[in-house]
């Protein structure tokens, strides 16, 4: 709260005008819900998938992998949610795209490696789900990525369209 006096010549002499000060979180946070919501859903996919993988296979390192990768992607969603700072949005979106593309390649490799030996066939459906989920996230992010608007042609110059 900040109180200031109104300039002279305003409504009532000596009247006090109250300005509400907005917190920086209220101004730009979660303004880009379409992009940050998509990244948030991918973070939850990784977190829940890590828990499910640990429960089904008994390998606790999959829980840690899902926890760490989901937390990093969650941070990308936090960066992408700021509307006022375009650099934060771009950093969050591009880091998330890079991570999701890397995860897609890693999960595809693990799917291929787990398909051959009979001992590792219990992990095959898990890796297929993670590969498809990561690939779908990359495609959805590329489709949601904002495009630059077409610049209007300069006036006064004749352009021929062929």
Determine the pLDDT at residue 26: 45
For the chain, what percent of residues have pLDDT higher than 70?
70
pLDDT higher than threshold 80 for residue 59: yes
Work out the mean pLDDT of the chain and round it to a whole number: 78
pLDDT higher than threshold 90 for residue 153: no
Instruction: Indicate yes or no: pTM above 0.85.
Output: no
Residue predicted with more confidence, 69 or 116? 69
Q: Band the pLDDT of 88: cuts 50, 70, 90.
A: confident
DSSP symbols for the chain: -EEEEPPTTSSSTT-EEEEPPPPHHHHHTT--HHHHHHHHHHHHHHHHHHHHHHHHH--HHHHHHHHHHHHHHHHHHHHHT-SS-HHHHHHHHHHHHHHHHHHHHHHHHHHHHHHSSGGGTTTHHHHHHHHHHHHHHHHHHHHHSPPPPPPPPPTT------
pLDDT higher than threshold 70 for residue 22: no
pLDDT higher than threshold 70 for residue 56: yes
pLDDT higher than threshold 50 for residue 23: no
pLDDT higher than threshold 50 for residue 134: yes
Determine the pLDDT at residue 58: 84
Alpha-carbon distance of 111 to 66, in angstroms, equals 17
């Amino acid at each position: 709260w900040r109180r200031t006096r109104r300039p002279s010549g305003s409504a009532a002499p000596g009247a006090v005008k109250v300005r509400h000060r907005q917190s920086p979180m209220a101004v730009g946070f979660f303004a880009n819900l379409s992009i940050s919501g998509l990244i948030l859903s991918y973070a939850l996919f990784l977190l829940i998938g890590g828990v499910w993988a640990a429960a089904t296979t008994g390998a606790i390192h999959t829980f840690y992998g899902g926890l760490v990768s989901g937390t990093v992607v969650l941070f990308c969603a936090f960066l992408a949610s700021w509307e006022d700072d375009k650099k934060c949005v771009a950093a969050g979106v591009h880091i998330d795209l890079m991570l999701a593309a890397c995860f897609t390649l890693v999960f595809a490799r693990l799917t291929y490696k787990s398909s051959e030996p009979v001992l590792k066939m219990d992990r095959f459906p898990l890796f297929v789900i993670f590969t498809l989920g990561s690939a779908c996230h990359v495609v959805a992010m590329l489709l949601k990525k904002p495009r630059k608007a077409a610049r209007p042609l300069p006036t006064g110059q004749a352009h021929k369209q062929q």
